[in-house]
Structure 1
């Protein structure tokens, strides 16, 4: 029995949804374990179908073990339409955030039933990680930690940001990562004031603050970390800012647990930075959930008012950014527990001056 499908069915009963068409590749992986690139699932309250073409039949049989595997020999949605007619389904929910208007138009033409848009239903199940998921994410994070240790040994003035990014990316792959979880950010000197300053041709110079924000995919799950350090003395103001950001990061760790909200944690971090006089320089939310995607629920922002649950994994990434001078961000991945949290990111956080 696929426990994830059973949990989804309970939500389907609550929402009065007789069937769901799953097309999001992340939700497909979560519900079916399928890692190929072509396929979809049709789940009813009694049956679960996985539809794919000839190329993936053997793979689907091994991975989607609790599904009836159907081979489409023509357009895949025609095969779904046949199943809908065969079972007399009168309404099918579809993932509105993952279906283009062109695809929706195709569904309207082919399906003999009503179509109901849904959003966030399957994603809500993904927010609470199972023990196996936590173990995989911990491994992904350990790879990122090792890459940070590696880069501290090789980075030096005269290298470009792109060279550093490539070093990080290749090293993570050498440790078993299947790829990066997002485009690696390397922002040095004045560019460290850019929160999402992906690596450029800028040459690192003595005295630069360097922000590295990076992560990897391991067995389908992501890691995400940020560390800021200096190549030589960066000056008193940037050292002061570093300590403020670190204090905000640590305050969140002290407060994060099941029952608190993203709104509260965002306030906690923002108060530390605001009380130090840099509130306007912290212009983004505190964090986000991670899992199969680099940004998924639950959020960590003033807009997120739901209480966290044990098994949520969130990021804690306060920052201060001063145009023309530089910036600091420190990011950890936290596993929420009933009584607190486990800091999964193990890289040191005291200011490192190389």
Structure 2
């Protein structure tokens, strides 16, 4: 069953339709990338309205839907509503701006609009469980990420800037089959490593620094995500203690990951190790998140997420310790939850590398 067919089976009745407007959900349902367009889905029909820039390619590539040239959105939506006898339309509440929803309501003043989270929740849960094809794309993206890590190690040395490392990684990824990085790469050194989402700049690597790389690639629309921290020259005993603590927290959390476990319980395992080592308050973010078409998807490994892990979910596990103004360490792997345990897609070494 295709993604569109699965979604159609979850619509409440024959008079209900959904407008899929967001770029990532259009791609999820049609398999066709585009910066504009909308998908109109009822129980039995799916129509993809798309403009002239994409129409020829969409007719060849879009899956499970009728592709129609978008000429007059208001008139075409009115025609679809009449043709399929639609009485109510649901929207993507998580993704559609209020102004856009109001625009659609003005186009169709006689139609009831469902502004609840129903459509978005349905799609979100569908996207939590990855298909074999999605998993294969994510594995390919991670293989490029691992290769980029191996490639970049020889470039990490005193005098090289954070920005230069980011540029080299991005170039390598694109040269080796990625569309590009799956987010703005985090390649930071020295005191900047205490910033979980630090931005690479002109700061140059020095002996005694930690260097943290949070990187990922995109293949066929799907993301990977991995973080490694390496040492440049001799580091202090405290730096080594922090690194070992983060690695232990990650190892124990990975060992506990399994279908049927609660997300918040996995987070607690890693958080307790870090807190008990004397670093309470130094791990401010959640332990991990799902990955797919977006780099951050549901569910989350966090204290506030009570979702239950299921086979087919892809999760990151990324504990960190951040000592403000001094240094930080994060180690991140990306794994697939299976009925028998997990498969770790991240192959890069985690024992501390000293360059």
Alignment of 1:1-354 (within 5 A): 3-13=2-12, 18-74=16-72, 76-111=73-108, 112-117=110-115, 118=117, 119-354=120-355
Equivalent residues of 2:15, 2:86 under 8 A apart:
no
- Deviation readout 1:124-175 (Å, 9 max, x if unpaired): 1011011111111001001000000011012210011001110111111110
Change (3 A) 1:153 1:20: same
Give distance in 1, aligned partners of 2:113 and 2:204.
54
Give distance in 1, aligned partners of 2:136 and 2:87.
41
Aligned positions, number: 351
- Deviation readout 1:205-243 (Å, 9 max, x if unpaired): 011011111111111100111000111112110101100
Equivalent residues of 1:162, 1:200 under 8 A apart:
yes
Equivalent residues of 1:318, 1:331 under 8 A apart:
yes
Q: TM-score, normalised by structure 1?
A: 0.96
What is the CA distance between 1:96 and its match in structure 2?
Answer: 1.7
SS in 2 for 1:276: helix
Give distance in 1, aligned partners of 2:354 and 2:7.
50
What is the CA distance between 1:38 and its match in structure 2?
Answer: 2.1
Change (3 A) 1:173 1:254: same
Equivalent residues of 1:27, 1:123 under 8 A apart:
no
* Structure 1, 113-122 or 269-278: larger mean CA deviation: 113-122
Q: TM-score, normalised by structure 2?
A: 0.96
SS in 2 for 1:298: strand
Give distance in 1, aligned partners of 2:78 and 2:24.
23
Give distance in 2, aligned partners of 1:267 and 1:20.
38
Give distance in 2, aligned partners of 1:296 and 1:64.
24
Give distance in 2, aligned partners of 1:91 and 1:252.
45
Equivalent residues of 2:14, 2:42 under 8 A apart:
no
Give distance in 2, aligned partners of 1:53 and 1:319.
45
SS in 1 for 2:138: helix
SS in 2 for 1:61: helix
Give distance in 2, aligned partners of 1:280 and 1:66.
49
Give distance in 2, aligned partners of 1:347 and 1:209.
17
What is the CA distance between 1:97 and its match in structure 2?
Answer: 2.3
Equivalent residues of 1:17, 1:93 under 8 A apart:
no
SS in 2 for 1:125: helix
SS in 1 for 2:34: coil
* Greater than 3 Å deviation, 4+ residue runs: none
Q: CA RMSD in A?
A: 1.4
Unpaired runs of 5+ in structure 2? none
What is the CA distance between 1:336 and its match in structure 2?
Answer: 0.5
Equivalent residues of 1:90, 1:114 under 8 A apart:
yes
What is the CA distance between 1:109 and its match in structure 2?
Answer: 1.1
